[in-house]
Amino acid sequence: MQNFFSNVLRYPLFFISVVLGIFVVFISKIKSFLKKPLSAFIILVILGMFTVGLFFTLQAMLDVNFI
């Protein structure tokens, strides 16, 4: 039974390492695009659109009116 719990506790650590690895790879790819001004502008516009979309989605889901 002790072996079972030690194996179960490994899964969250594996999940965290996979998520951090994906995050590092994603950031390294974005850094290469930020060297060109047009690509940087496009990435900032996409990031802004994502942030505004997330804001309005959460606002509608939580029925909160900030504006």
> Can you give the pLDDT of all 67 residues of the chain as single tens digits?
778 888 888 898 899 999 999 999 989 988 888 888 999 899 899 999 999 999 999 999 998 887 6
User: With contact defined as beta carbons under 8 Å apart, do 12 and 18 qualify?
Assistant: no
Angle between helix 37-62 and 2-33 (nearest 10): 130
> Model-level pTM greater than 0.85?
no
